[in-house]
Amino acid sequence: MATKEHSVYKLVGKDEAEGFAWSFEGPNTEAVLYPFKFPVIQSHEVRIQQTYFGLCYTDCHLVNQDWFPINYPSVPGHEILGRVVMKGDQVTQFQIGDLVGAGFIRDSCGKCKYCIQGNDQLCGQMGDEHFIPLPKFGGFATHVQFPAKWAFPIPNTLPQNLTPPLLCAGITVFAPLKRYFNPKKEVGIIGIGGLGHLAIKFSAALGMKTSAISTSADKEQEAKSYGAIDFIVSNDPQQMAKASGRFDIILNCAHASTVDEFIAQTNLLKNGGDFIMVGIPAVNKVELQLPFFQLVCRQISFIGSLVGSRQENYEMISFANQHKIYPTCEEFEFHNFKNAYDKLLNGRPKYRCVVKVGNAPETLKL
């Protein structure tokens, strides 16, 4: 049971709790149950009771301070799905009982140049309110409360147990593929994991010639079942040489560990190609210098992409529903959350972990 209290979410007894979260009280610690009360709901917010939520390795990076220091206790999680149980008086787009989802972005100002341009995921005016998991409580909980503008209606035809990862992994790969879409382009997806398996599905469904690039030769048939037309084993020098200069776009869903590995990946691009990075390593484990000669002399664009805008989220949800694009997931019960987190941190889930909340809010009070 939790011992550290958050400055916003009051730690209370189980019988008083409005929600239960899995909280981390320091880096490299075990999650503890945190019964809590919400702050008063604001006029623009919704409170949802989750049906399922997902786990992402970003949560592990955040908890363990792989990227930057954070304050504890921390409740990460940003793959959120549930039904509206309370809403502020200015929220008109949702009704009580509506099924909604949310991802990594908590709020945006709607007034800055990025918001006006439709890149509201890049809004720099919200400070600590921009991201769902920090410093407020995120999705590792029975209930979540956040601004309604970044909640998205979820069609009943999307399987609830497979939907949460779409709101992080799905939008992370869909958005850049859609931005750089051209039916004549050939795309290489590096990494067949939590991001990459969805990237193959989205890229193929968009109509681009898509190849999978992986160190795991045994994933070839699986990758082709997702829509890949070819499979390249990245630690096979002959296969990499044969594919040199082939792709218009590389979507890197993993990350290179050395400069030589990175150069080998960029060699797969045509001159003038786009190298899009969506996987972020722990900064204390990988120090990677950009191969500037390659980038400049071959006019390669090195591009980062952060999830997606609100409009891109709406498009992704509709597209996934239309084309029946779902992640491969392992499912855990709420009381087995620690097993799910350990599988993500220390194991190799296939390919995402989701937690079923079910009747946990009621049984935890008993």
State the chain's mean pLDDT as an integer: 95
pLDDT at 128 over 90: no
Residue 32: domain span = 10-165+329-363
Q: How far is residue 250 from each of residues 81, 208, 265, measured CA to CA in Å?
A: 31, 12, 8
What would the pLDDT profile of 261-273 be if each residue is shown by its tens digit? 888 999 999 999 9
CATH number where 94 lies: 3.90.180.10
- Which pLDDT band, with edges at 50, 70 and 90, does 277 fall under? very high
What would the pLDDT profile of 160-214 be if each residue is shown by its tens digit? 999 999 999 999 999 999 999 999 999 999 999 999 999 999 999 999 999 999 9
Domain final position from 287, 304, 321? 304
Contacts of 360 (CB under 8 A, 6+ apart): 20, 142, 333, 334, 335
Specify the pLDDT at position 286. 63
Whether 211 is covered by a domain: the verdict is: yes
% residues pLDDT > 70 (the chain): 98
Specify the pLDDT at position 285. 63
Q: What is the pTM of this model?
A: 0.96
CATH number where 177 lies: 3.40.50.720
Domain final position from 304, 321, 337? 304
| 3 state DSSP class of 207 | coil
Whether 40 is covered by a domain: the verdict is: yes
Whether 309 is covered by a domain: the verdict is: no
Rounded Cα distance between 97 and 229, Å, is 42
As for how many domains the chain has, the answer is: 2
